[in-house]
Amino acid sequence: MASPPTPLRIGSRGSPLALAQAYMAKAALAAAHGWDDEAIAIVPVRTTGDRVQDRPLAEIGGKALWTKELDRALIEGDIDIAVHSMKDVETIRPAEIVIAAMLERADMRDRLIGAESIDALPQGARIGTSSPRRAAQLLSLRPDLAIETLRGNVATRLAAVESGTVDATLLAAAGLDRLGHHDIGAPIPIETLLPAAQQGAIGIETLGGRGDMRALLEAIDHGATHRCVAAERAFLEALGADCHSPVAALAQEEGGRTRLRGQLLTNDGGETVADTVEAPADAADEAARDLADALLERANPALRALFAG
């Protein structure tokens, strides 16, 4: 296929990981449509989440800090599509914007940096994380651990462990792999730490009215990933979960059926409720909402209060 009349503009955050993911989307589009390198331009967009690094996201506006500037660039026509780590994308999106495609999902697990396993962490080890989910899960397994707020890009968080600022941290395996850090950290089994909903998935958004972009993106959409992530998003939406909510979820599709695991925790890890549902792949969203309702019903008032569902 010939190149578009003007370069297709991909909007991305400017962090090394975000740019690596934008280049993955660029490569997929170029391969699918037979375009040369000049057919697609990467447009870095600086977000509030990138500028403010000294406080947890939940204190300064939540996941929208990663998306609002890219949303504005899409709506104002400065970019044609936007590439996101899906776990950074809030469940309620602007009406004008659609998630048009997802690349095939990568490793969903977390990796522990600083020790070979959670059991191997020293008594009272200082764990750097700004994720309520990771903090609650770790405290549920090891109440002796001390959680310290740690934000920043992958390099910043790796450096914090290297310098001894913290004893250990957790990072997404997919992000490490995309930056070439294949051998860094110890993978934590999903059965030990259920990942964040949407972890490992890259989503590509455009304006709902851009039929031309939606048609181009359809060629690189990985259907199973898209369906599984949609189920996880339905689970989060039914819970009313936000950046303050310690919640984990993972949907996996096989043989036309979807298996969805979900977990809710109190911030101190003192209480947790979890369960699994299976459903036909085309009914996974409904099953996800049912799972959310069932977990909320089983939760005590303190846990239920962390969710608005």
- Positive or negative: CA dihedral 242, 243, 247, 249: positive
Count of other CB atoms within 10 angstroms of residue 137:
26
Cα 109–chain centre separation: 11
What percent helix, strand, coil does the chain show, rounded to 5?
40, 25, 40
**Cross-strand pairs, 126:** 146
Would you call 268 a catalytic residue per the annotation? no
Q: From the candidates 80, 88, 221, 242, give the one annotated as an active-site residue.
A: 88
Phi, psi of 62 (to 5 degrees): 75, -160
Q: CA–CA separation, 225 vs 198, rounded Å?
A: 9
- Alpha-carbon Rg for the chain, nearest whole angstrom, is 19
- Which residue's structure tokens are 């490793």? 107
- Active-site residues, by number, are 88
